[in-house]
Amino acid sequence: MKKYILIILAALLTTTVFTKVMAAGTPTPTDSSLLEQVANEIASKTAQLNLVEKRGIIGTVTDSSSTQITLSDLNGNIRFVDVDELTKFSSPTSDSYGISDVTNGTLLGVLGLYNKQSQRILARDVSVQTAFPSVIYGTISDIDKTNFELTIAKENGQKIVIEIQDVTKTYAFSAGTMAKSGFSKTQTGQTIVAIGFSDKQDSKKILGTRIILLPDIQTGFALNLGTAVNPTIPPSTGSGIKLYPITK
């Protein structure tokens, strides 16, 4: 008899433990709220990750501090760059270049994490860049054979002086062929493309590295070369008929 009683008690205890285990595995209302909170946090983190992308920019420094660099990019837009202890700096002229060495006017290349919402970039690599060459298209308006300089008149009326140096290479493109040329072959009125870098001493002067003469191409815009005289336009009667003075 005792044997049967023990078996029944054991079965009852087993059933009780199994019931508690099953109950523990079933989410309660409190557990459901916790799961919902975790899911929301994961979704929030995912959204934040979607706002960030790797990006690189190049610009000129307009302001800087120990934690931020302000750049003017190639399109003239202002860009804000954040720096921290993980940001690496480099310069071709210094092995110890850092944030304290950044000065206004320096051309920098920045790689980092761009936040689409704040429109700021967290820099991971900042490097000093060499200046980009200027490309000047226009017509030769003056030739200074003493100082080896060409004055180029642009479409907007601006005139820029190109200094010819020992390293300047001059070519002429004619009849579909590019051939070597020289300073002595330049003529006023010629269409020209000049490539070079700005002179730090004179912002209106370019130190030429490449000169391409285009003798077959006539300038497609009216340029004031300093010798042209503006023609006198006769007054209009309002009926479309011009009044010309009588001359003998």
pLDDT over 50 (residue 242): no
Residues 192-214: what's their mean pLDDT? 86
Report whether CATH 2.40.50.140 matches the domain 52-128.
Answer: yes
CATH 2.40.50.140 domain extents, the chain = 52-128, 134-214
Phi, psi for 24 (deg, rounded to 5) = -65, -30
Residues 205-232: what's their mean pLDDT? 67
Non-local (6+) Cβ contacts of 126 within 8 A are 69, 81, 83, 87, 88, 89, 90, 102, 108, 109, 110
For the stretch 145-182, pLDDT in tens is 999 999 999 888 888 999 998 889 999 998 888 999 99
Residues 32-37: what's their mean pLDDT? 64
Residues linked to residue 70 through DSSP beta bridges, in sequence order: 63, 80
Report, at the CATH architecture level, how domain 134-214 is classified.
Answer: Beta Barrel (2.40)
Structure tokens at 133: 């060459």
Task: Classify residue 85 as exposed, middle or buried by CB count within 10 Å of its CB (0-12, 13-18, 19+).
Answer: exposed
First to last CA, the chain: 153
Q: What is the pTM of this model?
A: 0.47
In this structure, the number of other CB atoms found within 10 A of the CB of residue 49 comes to 9
pLDDT over 60 (residue 21): no
